[in-house]
Amino acid sequence: MTGRDSSSILWHGTTILTVRKGGKVIVAGDGQVSVGATVMKANARKVRTLGKGNVIGGFAGATADAFTLFERLEAKLEQYPEQLTRACVELAKDWRTDRYLRRLEAMMLVADKSVSLVLTGTGDVLEPEGGVMGIGSGGTYALAAARALMDTPATAEEIARKAMAIAADICVYTNTNVIVEQLESTR
């Protein structure tokens, strides 16, 4: 490995996108997981429902770390039912202050019927502008494509699928095995 230990291997391979339009909120994610230049898995599921099915989320980063964060978020949602923003802020506080959680390397996009948020290990809990947000190696490509499509008559799901396909055409760490979850939206 030319002077690098195994902990310095870079895991790549995620594009997660959320689109909120026309009474729907979508979270979409591709299925590729790569180590260096090798595709390790092409059909990973990085998007799932959380809580009692009223929250959807997707992750970018280390899988085990992301599942740890999903579990912590579900616990916060039990503590603060129907309060996604509050649950995310409380998780972000823990993520920044807990010695174990601080070492986790992942980002999350989560959404419920009224709000979409991105959570990071630096304590950020951000609501996207214009109802669209992308994270991961192809996130900026998907975000740009989705923003360009928001003024078209396309539905939220159509926008998400087209934007993910564009990201897969540009980002070598993103593929076309897309999982989409959706909820009814109040906005």
CATH number of the domain that 101 lies in? 3.60.20.10
Is residue 184 domain-resident? no
Q: From the candidates 2, 14, 49, 63, which is the catalytic residue?
A: 14
Neighbouring residues of 121: CB distance < 8 A, sequence distance ≥ 6: 95, 96, 101, 102, 104, 105, 106, 107
Neighbours of 75 (CB within 10 A): 15
CA dihedral 28, 49, 133, 24 (to 10 degrees): 80
pLDDT score, position 105: 72
Is residue 131 domain-resident? yes
| pTM, 2 dp | 0.89
Is residue 98 domain-resident? yes
pLDDT score, position 33: 85
pLDDT score, position 68: 82
pLDDT score, position 96: 75
Ranges of residues in the chain with a pLDDT under 70 are: 1-13, 99-103
Burial class for 54, CB neighbours closer than 10 Å (0-12, 13-18, 19+): middle
pLDDT score, position 94: 83
Give the span between the Cα atoms of 84 and 80, in whole angstroms: 8
Is residue 186 domain-resident? no
**Is residue 65 within 8 Å of residue 72, measured between CB atoms?**
no
pLDDT score, position 22: 96
Is residue 16 domain-resident? yes
pLDDT score, position 12: 53
**Which residue segment(s) compose the domain that 93 sits in?**
10-173
Domain count of the chain? Answer: 1
Residue 38 falls in the annotated catalytic set:
no
pLDDT score, position 4: 41
Is residue 156 domain-resident? yes
24: left (phi over 0), alpha (psi -120 to 50) or beta: beta
pLDDT score, position 8: 40
Is residue 94 domain-resident? yes
CA dihedral 67, 146, 39, 180 (to 10 degrees): 50
pLDDT score, position 120: 83
Is residue 180 domain-resident? no
